[in-house]
């Protein structure tokens, strides 16, 4: 990969929630967002669980961040924007 590409497009930091229980997610996501809040955007992989997505979105809204809920082809993640 060319060096100029690496400088222009830094990789997105990800948190994968597959395999976690719903009661474990709130604090984990909160810590992840607050520790990486200066390296936005962040990608949180939720899978297709609506309950998991709602927990993540509640954390994001609590700390006044904007978010995007996946894309047309993959609805299993949430991007934390700013």
Instruction: Encode the chain (82 residues) as per-residue pLDDT tens digits.
Output: 555 655 566 678 999 999 999 999 999 999 999 999 999 999 999 999 999 999 999 999 999 999 999 888 889 999 999 8
Residue 4 in any domain: the answer is no
Residue 6 in any domain: the answer is no
Residue 1 in any domain: the answer is no
Q: Tell me the residue range of the domain where 28 lies.
A: 12-80
Residue 7 in any domain: the answer is no
d(CA 32, CA 44): 9
pTM of the predicted protein model:
0.85
d(CA 63, CA 34): 9
Q: Which candidate, 52, 40, 43, 39, places its Cα nearest to that of 14? A: 43
d(CA 4, CA 65): 29
Contact status, residue 28 vs residue 20, Cβ threshold 8 Å? yes
For residue 47, what is the domain's CATH number?
A: 3.30.1370.110
Residue 75 in any domain: the answer is yes
The domain tally of the chain equals: 1
């Amino acid at each position: 990969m060319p060096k100029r590409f690496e400088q222009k497009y830094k990789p997105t930091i990800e948190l994968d929630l597959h395999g976690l229980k719903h009661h474990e997610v709130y604090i984990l996501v909160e810590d992840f967002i607050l520790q990486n809040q200066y390296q936005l955007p962040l990608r949180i992989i939720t899978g297709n669980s609506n309950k998991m997505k709602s927990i993540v979105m509640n954390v994001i809204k609590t700390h006044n961040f904007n978010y995007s809920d996946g894309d047309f082809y993959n609805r299993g993640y949430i991007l934390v924007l700013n």
